[in-house]
């Protein structure tokens, strides 16, 4: 990501813009930022529980950035996004709402592989009124950052503020450094350096991901819908018919048609 000199895309209300890789900290405390990164980079992945390590990364974000909470969504075996850690009840509610609806900035960050920002939930009209519901719950602004394994998106690292917040380039580039830490932890887990259910879940999700992406592409073309809508439609059909998502996706990818 940015530490390697590659820019990120940020999807906001006005579209996608390219970012430069090196930007000055504006909203970020440089001393706290460097100290947190140095500490977290020492996490002994091979001997630690993966969920505990992810909790530690998320817990560091509010103290470093001008945010009120942070959380992490990851794919499960059925390609559904699940909250694996949240720093506070509002973050938990933010993630749970998006889990239940299959819509929102953190879902789009994962599906589209882009950084998605909401500066003011009270006025943002995306996601069919979802932001208004989040505003009523006390969430003012959101930033969703994709997390990946080997370049494949498997979830999103998300932060929020209670008040509207104009996310700037320093927010995005700095939080990207923490997303890179998560990427490394997840990659080590599926490489066999960490054990447990979450590591197994991620490996299964990666095995299914490619065929699901093909099916999403077919659904987008046939229905003229977005990637997020297509992904949600596939998951809904798999639940309705009680079929494994992989089986349904393979049928769609092979026959180039939708059975629903």
pLDDT greater than 50 at residue 93? yes
Q: Are residues 239 and 193 in the same domain?
A: no
Q: Are residues 154 and 205 in the same domain?
A: no
When divided into structural domains, the chain yields a total of: 2
The CATH number of whichever domain residue 166 belongs to comes to 3.30.450.40
The CATH number of whichever domain residue 226 belongs to comes to 1.10.10.10
Question: Per-residue confidence at 39, pLDDT binned at 50, 70, 90?
Answer: very high
CA distance 35 to 40: 9
Q: Are residues 128 and 48 in the same domain?
A: yes
Q: Is residue 114 part of a domain?
A: yes
CA distance 237 to 245: 8
pTM of the model: 0.79
Cα-trace Rg, the chain: 18
Q: Are residues 66 and 136 in the same domain?
A: yes
Q: Are residues 57 and 175 in the same domain?
A: yes
Q: Are residues 249 and 127 in the same domain?
A: no
* DSSP class per residue in 80-100: -EEEEEESSHHHHHHHHHHHH
Question: Per-residue confidence at 45, pLDDT binned at 50, 70, 90?
Answer: low
* DSSP class per residue in 214-238: HHHHHHHHHHT--HHHHHHHHHHHH
Boundary (domain end) residue, out of 160, 176, 197: 197
User: How do beta strands 115-118 and 9-12 pair?
Assistant: parallel
Q: Are residues 215 and 234 in the same domain?
A: yes
Close Cβ partners of 26 (under 8 Å, ≥ 6 residues apart) = 168, 169, 170, 171
Lowest-pLDDT range, 17-26, 148-157, 172-181? 17-26
Boundary (domain end) residue, out of 197, 221, 237: 197
Where in the sequence is the domain holding 13, given as residue range(s)? Answer: 2-18+25-197
Close Cβ partners of 255 (under 8 Å, ≥ 6 residues apart) = none
Q: Is residue 69 part of a domain?
A: yes
């Amino acid at each position: 990501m940015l530490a390697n000199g590659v820019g990120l895309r940020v999807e906001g209300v006005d579209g996608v813009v390219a970012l430069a890789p090196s930007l000055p900290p504006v909203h970020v405390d440089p001393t706290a930022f460097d100290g947190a990164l140095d500490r977290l980079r020492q996490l002994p992945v091979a001997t630690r529980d993966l969920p505990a390590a992810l909790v530690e990364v998320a817990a560091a974000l509010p103290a470093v950035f001008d945010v009120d909470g942070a959380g992490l969504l990851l794919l499960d075996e059925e390609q559904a996004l699940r909250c694996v850690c949240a720093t506070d009840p509002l973050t938990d509610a933010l993630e749970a709402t998006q889990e239940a609806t299959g819509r929102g900035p953190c879902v789009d960050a994962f599906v589209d592989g882009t950084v998605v920002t909401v500066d003011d939930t009270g006025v943002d009209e995306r996601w069919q009124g979802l932001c208004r519901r989040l505003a009523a719950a006390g969430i003012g602004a959101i930033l969703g950052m994709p997390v990946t394994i080997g370049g494949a998106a498997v979830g999103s690292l998300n932060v929020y503020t209670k008040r509207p917040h104009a996310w700037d380039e320093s927010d995005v580039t700095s939080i990207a450094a923490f997303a890179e830490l998560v990427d490394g932890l997840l990659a080590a887990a599926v490489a066999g350096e960490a054990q447990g259910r979450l590591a197994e879940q991620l490996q299964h999700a990666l095995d299914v991901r490619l065929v699901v992406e093909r099916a999403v592409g077919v659904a987008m073309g046939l229905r003229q819908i977005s990637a997020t809508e297509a992904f949600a439609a596939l998951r809904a059909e798999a639940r309705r018919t009680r079929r494994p998502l992989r089986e349904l996706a393979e049928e769609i990818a092979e026959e180039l048609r939708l059975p629903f």
